[in-house]
Amino acid sequence: MSKVAVVFWSATGNTAAMADAVAEGARGNGAEVTVLGASGFSGVNVSEYDAIAFGCPAMGAEVLEEEEFEPMFASVESFLGGKKIGIFGSYGWGDGQWMRDWKDRCVSAGASLVNDGVMANYAPDETAIEECKDLGRALA
Ligand SMILES: Cc1cc2nc3c(=O)[nH]c(=O)nc-3n(C[C@H](O)[C@H](O)[C@H](O)COP(=O)(O)O)c2cc1C
């Protein structure tokens, strides 16, 4: 059974709803899934999982949330070489620049990205929830 972590940050619940759907998809494909807040994860935890989904909304000015998620992600980046990962998150008024920048960071880190980043405009609609489940299935 593969071990999948879903590591996310969410202020108003939109990315949290996406995280639940990713976890559901991964469990549906037989993975053992651990769902964690960003503050509960760091670089030393990467090797404990076969695959990791990271979720964070667009914050600041098209950046990852800066107090918890960004420091956590900066700490895991150097451990992501060859690791199967996926990224997801909610956004508001932007055009997804935060996700494109984040994807580039993952590629630079040598991660094995299974997607281009699942995005939901504010609360995830049915399509976004399905994309999140697909992401979970792909990681399992
Ligand atoms: C302080 C702050 C900064 C934000 N910056 C952006 C931004 O740069 N681009 C964007 O598209 N949305 C931005 N948003 C909107 C959030 O990404 C959006 O509300 C999202 O649904 C929040 O996700 P959550 O419910 O998981 O916290 C911002 C929201 C807040 C509160």
Region 97-101 average pLDDT: 98
Distance 115 CA to ligand 1 centre (A): 21
- The mean pLDDT of the chain is 97
Percent of the chain residues topping a pLDDT of 90: 99
**Protein residue closest via CA to atom 11 of ligand 1:** 94
> What pLDDT was estimated at residue 134?
98
Residue 59 CA to ligand 1 center (angstroms) comes to 5
pLDDT at 1: 86
CA of 17 to the centre of ligand 1 (A): 15
Segment 34-74, tens digit of pLDDT: 999 999 999 999 999 999 999 999 999 999 999 999 999 99
pTM of the complete model beyond 0.75: yes
Per-residue buried b or exposed e for 58-91, using 16+ beta carbons within 10 Å of the residue's own CB: bbeebebbeebbbebbeebbebbeebbbbbbbbb
Mutate to test the pocket of ligand 1, among 9, 59, 99, 119 (most ligand atoms within 8 A of CB): 59
